[in-house]
């Protein structure tokens, strides 16, 4: 008689469930866990993604565990008691301050009662003792080769057998070549942003902060429009209240750029665009937005570093330019606009798939808790 499939209870911990790559990855793993019959719990302050999380069968526990205040680490004792009651198989920390709370609570538990402790390096954090917590998991997930190198170079004491590179992924059902927005969406977009009608849209996704390269984008568009007057730049991203002065400064630099603000329909915007750009001067650990655009069949021009450079190397090498070279970026965009069909033909197939990411992560959980992934799933042995 076959043994019953072994199930897991996994607790993921992060500051909030508002928006962003960390939150999206948490949601995707949570859904994969419940779909596979496991139990999923997420601990965070809360946010707009909680409804989607709970709708797919996970439980959300509201703790302000990411508040940047010295008192936050004092939650560790209460969190340890909570873990003792919940008894998860896996405790997965996805951000630095929550990871400290988790680790302090976990370390104080009897070894026989501890869950297995996993961390994910989502960002290229400042190198410090504070950031080193992300390398203290019993298994450490790096979201790209860039993130893996960051850990290896900056925390060389880590046992490399504990470090696993699991690429982030894209939902192929939502981000696929041939996707077209609905007629109603198109009509609303044209009504809201008439300056884009009949134009070649060049889109920069990203909140109005200095890290996202808006100044470089202004320079790129000025050079591009000197020869391609039908090109129009579109910035999709809200204003961070902490950077309002910077946002005002960028808005005043060039009247030809459309500022669309925070949107929940970035997929539709990228699908109707001629190209998407990624111009952050600081390397990113992955680059989910670039991957989503490329999966839609929209070419991406981006600086050749970090996760974005890594993704472009796999899917669209022609889109890579040296960091800060706005003239080269404008030239690449000009080439795309002059022959869009050729640019789309240059896009390669890829396996940055969310289903693969989820399967590899759950296999890592199983291996850590039960041994090998195959043993964890049960066998047909009598």
Give the orientation angle of helix 306-315 with respect to helix 145-154, to 10 degrees.
Answer: 140
Residue range 92-120: mean pLDDT, rounded: 97
Give the pLDDT score at 373. 58
Give the pLDDT score at 255. 58
Residue range 354-361: mean pLDDT, rounded: 96
Give the pLDDT score at 380. 32
For residue 233, which of 243, 252, 219 has the smallest C-alpha distance? Answer: 219
The dihedral through the CA atoms of 77, 78, 80, 85 has a sign that is positive
Q: Is a pLDDT exceeding 90 seen at residue 244?
A: no
Counting every residue written for the chain, the total comes to: 382
The 10s digit of each residue's pLDDT in 17-62 is 987 889 999 999 999 999 999 999 999 999 999 999 999 999 999 9
Report the alpha-carbon angle 301-25-88, nearest 5.
160
Contact 306, 284 (CB under 8 A): yes
The model scores a pTM over 0.85: yes
Q: Which residues contact 244 (CB under 8 A, 6 or more apart)?
A: none
**Strands (DSSP E) along the chain, which ranges?**
9-13, 39-44, 59-62, 90-93, 116-121, 139-142, 163-165, 200-205, 231-236, 257-261, 275-278, 300-303, 320-321
The 10s digit of each residue's pLDDT in 115-138 is 999 999 999 999 999 999 999 999
Distance CA 15, CA 198 (A): 42
Q: How confident is the model at residue 375 (pLDDT cuts 50, 70, 90)?
A: very low
Distance CA 135, CA 172 (A): 31
Q: Is a pLDDT exceeding 80 seen at residue 179?
A: yes
The 10s digit of each residue's pLDDT in 250-273 is 777 665 799 998 898 999 999 999
Longest dimension (CA), the chain: 74
The 10s digit of each residue's pLDDT in 313-343 is 999 999 999 999 999 999 999 999 999 999 9
């Amino acid at each position: 008689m076959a043994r019953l499939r072994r199930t897991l209870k996994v607790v993921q911990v992060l500051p909030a469930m508002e928006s962003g790559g960390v939150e999206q990855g948490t949601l995707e793993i949570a859904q994969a866990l419940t779909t596979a019959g496991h139990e999923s719990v997420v601990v965070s302050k809360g946010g707009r993604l909680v409804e989607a999380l709970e709708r797919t069968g996970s439980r959300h526990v509201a703790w302000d565990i990411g508040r940047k205040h010295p008192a936050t680490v004092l939650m560790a004792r209460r969190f340890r008691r909570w873990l003792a009651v919940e008894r998860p198989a896996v405790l997965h920390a996805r951000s630095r301050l929550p990871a400290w709370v988790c680790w302090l609570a976990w370390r104080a538990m009897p070894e026989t009662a501890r869950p297995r402790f996993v961390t994910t390096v989502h960002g290229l954090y400042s190198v410090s003792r504070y950031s080193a917590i992300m390398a203290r998991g019993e298994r450490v997930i790096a979201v790209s080769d860039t993130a893996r190198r960051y850990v290896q170079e900056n925390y060389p004491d880590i046992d490399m057998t504990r470090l696993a590179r699991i690429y982030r992924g894209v939902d192929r059902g939502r981000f696929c070549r041939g996707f077209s927005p609905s007629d109603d969406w198109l009509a609303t977009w044209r009504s809201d942003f008439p300056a884009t009608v009949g134009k070649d849209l060049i889109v920069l996704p990203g909140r109005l902060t200095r890290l996202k390269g808006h100044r470089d984008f202004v320079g790129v568009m000025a050079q591009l429009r000197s020869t391609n007057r039908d090109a129009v730049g579109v910035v999709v991203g809200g204003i961070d209240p902490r950077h309002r002065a910077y946002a005002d400064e960028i808005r005043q630099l060039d009247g030809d750029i459309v500022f669309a603000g925070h949107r929940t329909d970035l997929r539709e915007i990228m699908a109707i665009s001629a190209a998407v750009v990624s111009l952050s001067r600081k390397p990113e650990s992955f680059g989910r937005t670039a991957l989503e655009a490329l999966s839609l069949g929209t070419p991406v021009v981006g600086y050749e570093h970090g996760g974005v450079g890594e993704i472009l190397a796999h899917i669209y090498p022609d889109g890579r330019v040296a960091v800060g070279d706005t003239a080269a970026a404008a030239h690449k965009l000009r080439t795309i606009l002059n022959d869009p069909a050729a640019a789309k033909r240059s896009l390669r197939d890829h396996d940055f798939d969310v289903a693969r990411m989820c399967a590899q992560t759950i296999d890592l959980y199983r291996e850590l808790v039960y041994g090998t992934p195959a043993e964890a799933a049960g066998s047909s042995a009598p």
